[in-house]
Structure 1
């Protein structure tokens, strides 16, 4: 495990100053990474995808618990140093690690040496939701995940219909998986400490797709409905669906409700008709 001293030493060796642009806040608390790995419910057969491994704190905790770990890192110095860090701290499991130098938002199946079954990651706050949605779309082998994100984002990702924080991230993640909050994470476990608290979100992919409806069409309806969330569904969707009353009637949806009251299944019914 990497403690505060090791994290700062490695960063100094590489000449790295954590940047907000890349969302770099390195975990330096061993108890936190153990908590994350435990909450991820990994099996010895799981191939874990870690996005943004940074200096390797979480990577070192994942390797003994998984069959293999694929670490996707956008920062070249960090990507090139990670295998050496693992060999120094856990040579027995070093052969399980695969490092991919790539922007996670551009990763496809072809970029990975093995197909992951789980994602476990401390995600950059500014791209957390897009990264999760992109990977669930691109990697059908992903069955489950546990990600650390900004606390407010965690709330939104796991929110249910009827909540004021329920919105686009909630619905789009629900299209792929069942999500739930899996615990808080304080600020003092990071270097540098962020200005906000963090939270864990766990999700399990649906065994079967919710529908064969076109995902792009569904997501467009969701985006449009929440763009004016204070308006009724009829008013919010009218510009995109001129025959909105007829469509909502066929879908069995009350045109006077607001987007935040609809489940992902309700939005699927609208898209289907």
Structure 2
């Protein structure tokens, strides 16, 4: 029987339990999969509380690992879908939850051995997910968040732990020196805010960087705009972020002159730069291009 760490409330894993389970499974955290396991119960409680999961929320958790955060989410949520790429961890998680928290909470868990970047709504049986809560592998954090927001329109809110530098970018607004593609694309789907910093010493192994919590709430995207078309404008605008939009969008629009015409039609100064535009401005550029039938770039936008 695995003993549970922590005070009253959900049964959680402490450092000894995390290492004991990993040893039993023959698991060594790998950099390739971005595995850094949280072993501090207080941090897990803090993340679960900040996520504000309601009793009717169906949570999707990406990269549950040994189950530290999963155990904190199950008592609060109606159900948790855990998507895990590592087959050993995916196979062991239901047993760990049953052993630590009991069969009642284990019944609220569905584990899917899969790549989150290839996961769609049809892969998650039952009521659709309403919340994303995850300690995301740092190497795929932004693509995972954007992909899940795109394929799971049922998501209403979420909280993700990512590299602090990435967290700063995700919550940045126009005019910030770290505002860029991730900031603008996340803003298409949701309003994001910083929910705090997480120090390295709560992880095993200890990373060389701080982590940050990003909370988001779904909102309607800009009206009368196509997401893929808007994302193509964002990609082009930041591909050469030091250039003016007239120059940066030249390839996308067909020429500098065409880019200037589209920008003026959208009410955007051609001499502005990408970091000055909000997602609504990028949508305005996209709409102006569609009205002018400007030849948008052939390359598909990155999620």
Q: Quick check: 1:246 aligned with 2:273? A: no
**TM-score computed with the length of structure 1 as normaliser:** 0.98
Counting only pairs closer than 5 Å after superposition, residues 138-153 of structure 1 correspond to structure 2 as: 138-153=151-166
CA RMSD of aligned residues (A): 0.7
TM-superposition CA deviations, 1:40-78 (whole Å, max 9, x none): 111100001000000000000000011110000011110
Q: Specify which of 153, 167, 183 is matched with residue 170 of structure 1.
A: 183
Q: Which has the larger radius of gyration?
A: 2
Structure 2 gaps of 5+ residues are 1-11, 289-303
Which residue does 2:73 correspond to in 1?
62
Q: Quick check: 1:157 aligned with 2:173? A: no
Deviation at 1:94, TM superposition (A): 1.2
Deviation at 1:113, TM superposition (A): 1.4
TM-superposition CA deviations, 1:9-29 (whole Å, max 9, x none): 111111111111100000000
Deviation at 1:212, TM superposition (A): 3.3
Counting only pairs closer than 5 Å after superposition, residues 55-204 of structure 1 correspond to structure 2 as: 55-91=66-102, 92-114=104-126, 115-204=128-217
Distance of 2:144 and 2:34 partners within structure 1: 13
Which residue does 2:19 correspond to in 1?
8
- Give the stretch that moved more between structures: 215-224 or 164-173: 215-224
Distance of 1:110 and 1:261 partners within structure 2: 38
Structure 1 gaps of 5+ residues are none
Q: Aligned to 1:113, what secondary structure does the other structure show?
A: coil
Q: Aligned to 1:240, what secondary structure does the other structure show?
A: helix
Which residue does 2:6 correspond to in 1?
none
**TM-score computed with the length of structure 2 as normaliser:** 0.89
Which residue does 1:48 correspond to in 2?
59
Q: Quick check: 1:231 aligned with 2:243? A: yes
Q: How many residues end up aligned between the 2 structures?
A: 272
